[in-house]
Structure 1
C-alpha cells in the first residue's frame, strides 16, 4: 500500500496513518506524547489529529496545548505537519459552548489556534452533527475562517451519509469546496459505514479517515492480553462492553491470526486500510512500538484469501455492499 495519498479531491498529500492524540493527558503524559509525535514524524506520519475537547481527563483543551508546545519546540515542525482538530462538542457550561453555531465555530477556532500556538489549522473538522444549526450558518462561519487564512480545509466526523450529502449540496450552492474528509468509526465489528457513509463519501470525493479501527482494542488480541494480564485499553471502554457478545468470534479471530503468523492488531488495521473508499486510519498509540506496528500493518496488506476468511468471521451487514442493495431480498 502507498504511504501517502491525497486527502479526498484536494491536492493535499497526507500519510495513510494519522497520529491520533485522544490518549494524550491521562493515559499518555506530556514527555511521552512528545516522544510519540517525534517518532511518528520521523517515520513519515505527517497528520496529527486532535480535538478541542481532548485532554478532558486533565481539562478540555489540554491536548491542544501539549501539541502546541511540541510544535513550538522546532521551527520546521509546523510546516511538516498536517494539523487537524475538531469543533462541536461541549467545551463549557454555557448554552453557546457547544454545537455548530457561527458564534461557537469562530470562537472555538480562535481558542484552538491559541492553544496550538499556530496561525492556521489544516483540517478543521465538525466533531458531530448539529441539527439546530443550518448549513447556511455553518458554511458562513467556515467561509469566514478560510477567507481569513485560519483554516485550510473543512472536514466532518461522525456524520451519516445523508449529512454528508446535505452538507456538500449546501456548500456547492455557495460555490465552496465544502467537506473534504469524514472521520468515522469503522472496523471488522462495526461495518455499518459500508451501507451509506462510504458510498456517499466516494460519490462526493470525500476522504474517509477511520477512527477506532480496532474497536477500542477488541481486535487487538484482547483475549490473549486479558489472560496475560497485559490488557490496558482493551480492558475498558467499547472493547470491554462488547467482548461478551463477541467472545467466541474474537477467540476464533485470534486463532486465525496466530495461524497466519500475524498480530491481531496488524490484521485489523490492514483490513481497514484495504477497504474501498478508506483514505487512512487514525491510530491512538501509547508507545512507539504501537506506531511501528501500525506502519507494519500498512506495509503488509491482507490477501484476498485473508479478506474472505475475515468476511466469514465478521459478515458484512445484510447481504453486503451498499444500501439499499444490502437489504433487498
Structure 2
C-alpha cells in the first residue's frame, strides 16, 4: 500500500479510502466486518463514514456497525484513521442538524458513542452552512480539539470560495482550519478543477474524491449492460444513451492498457493534483479488492493525455472561460 500525508498535515493515510455508506442497508454486518478486516490486511488505514449513513436501517446505523467492529479489539481502532461527518438532520427538532456550536457538540458526542471511540481523527462538515458564522464554527471545533475529541477538521461539497472563507476565518483565530475537502470528482464530473482543486492546493488541503466511478458509469457499464449483468434505469440510462460512444471508447482504452475500467478511473484520480485518495464504498469484497488494486497502477503522460481526450476537463478559473 502507498501512503501520503493528508494535505499539509503530518498524518499518513493510505491512498485508498474505505467508504462505509453501504454498510447496513446494502452490506450485512458480517460482510462489513470482513471488508474492514481485509482493508487492514491490505494496509488501508483510512476509513470514512457519516452520522447520517444508514438509510433503510436508520440514520446512525453505519457508525454503529463501525463501532461494533472497533469493539472487537485487536488494535482495530488504533490502526484506523477515522473520518466521519456532520450536517444532515438527525432528528425533527431545531438544532438537530447543520453547523451551530450546539449541534457540533451534540452530533460529535453522539457519533463518538455510536463509534465506540473517544476521538475522531477527521471531523468533516458534510455541507456548507450559510446560516452559521465561521467564528462560531471554529470556536466549537477548537473546543473539541482541546477536549481531545477530534484531531483535524475537513469539509465536503465546498466551493473554492467556501474553502477560502473558512481558512481566512481560521487564520484570524490562529486555528488550524480545514485540512481536507471531500468533493465529487471523476473522469466524467471534473468541475472541481476550476476552483476547488486550486483552492485546496493553495491552502494545503488534501482532496478526497467521492463517487470516483460516477455511480458505476466508469466501471465498465457498456460491457456490463451488453452482457446483461447490469440493468440501466433513470438518469444512468439517459447518460449512457447520450454518451455511448464516449464510454465505449473509454472501455476499449482500458482493455488496451490491460486494466479494468473501474480500476483505471481510480488510478487516474491518484495522478491528479491535490488528490489524497478516492473513496470507494464497496457493497462486496470483490468490489473492494478491485478498488485497492488501482493504487498500484502507474499511468504515463500519453495515457493521461488520452483520457483527457476522451473526457475533457477544465482549466483553472478564470482561464477555464477566459483568456
Q: Secondary structure at the match of 2:55?
A: coil
* Separation (CA, whole Å) in 1 of partners of 2:164 and 2:146: 23
> How does the TM-score come out when normalised to structure 2?
0.96
Distance 1:315 1:272 in 2: 14
Q: What do residues 247-296 of structure 1 show as CA deviations (whole Å, max 9, x unaligned)?
A: 22112211221222221001111111111111111111122222222222
- 1:324 and 2:318 aligned: yes
Note the aligned Cα RMSD (angstroms).
1.5
Aligned equivalent of 2:195: 196
Report the counterpart of residue 179 of structure 1 in structure 2: 178
Cα pair 1:25 1:63 within 8 Å, conserved:
yes
Q: CA 1:262–1:290 in structure 2 vs 1: closer, same or farther (change >3 Å)?
A: same
| 8 Å contact from structure 1 (residues 215, 239) kept in 2 | no
Contact 2:7 2:274 in 1 (8 A): no
Match of 2:208, SS state, is strand
- Which of 248, 257, 270 is the equivalent residue of 1:251? 248
Give yes or no for the alignment of 1:287 onto 2:281. no
Indicate the residue corresponding to 1:268 in structure 2.
Answer: 265
Contact in 2 for aligned 1:216/1:237 (Cα 8 Å) = no
> How much has 1:308 moved relative to structure 2?
1.1
Counterpart in 2 of 1:297? 294
Q: Distance in 2 between matches of 1:259 and 1:5?
A: 29
Distance 1:118 1:241, change over 3 A: farther
Superposed displacement of residue 229, structure 1: 2.7
Query: Counterparts in 2 of 1:214-225, with a 5 A limit?
Result: 214-225=213-224
Residue 182 of structure 2 aligns to a residue whose secondary structure is: strand
Find the aligned partners of 2:23 and 2:234 in 1 and give their Cα distance.
16
C-alpha displacement of 1:75: 4.0
* Alignment of structure 1 residues 159-170 onto 2, 5 Å: 159-170=158-169
- Separation of aligned partners in 1, 2:20 and 2:276: 19
Number of residue pairs matched by the alignment: 323
1:16 alignment partner in structure 2: 15
Q: Structure 2 matches for 1:126-165, cutoff 5 A?
A: 126-165=125-164
1:86-109 alpha-carbon deviations (Å, 9 max, x no partner): 000121112321111111111000
- In 1, distance between residues paired with 2:151 and 2:43? 21
Asked whether the 8 Å contact 1:4–1:14 carries over to 2, the reply is: yes
TM-score scaled by length of structure 1: 0.95
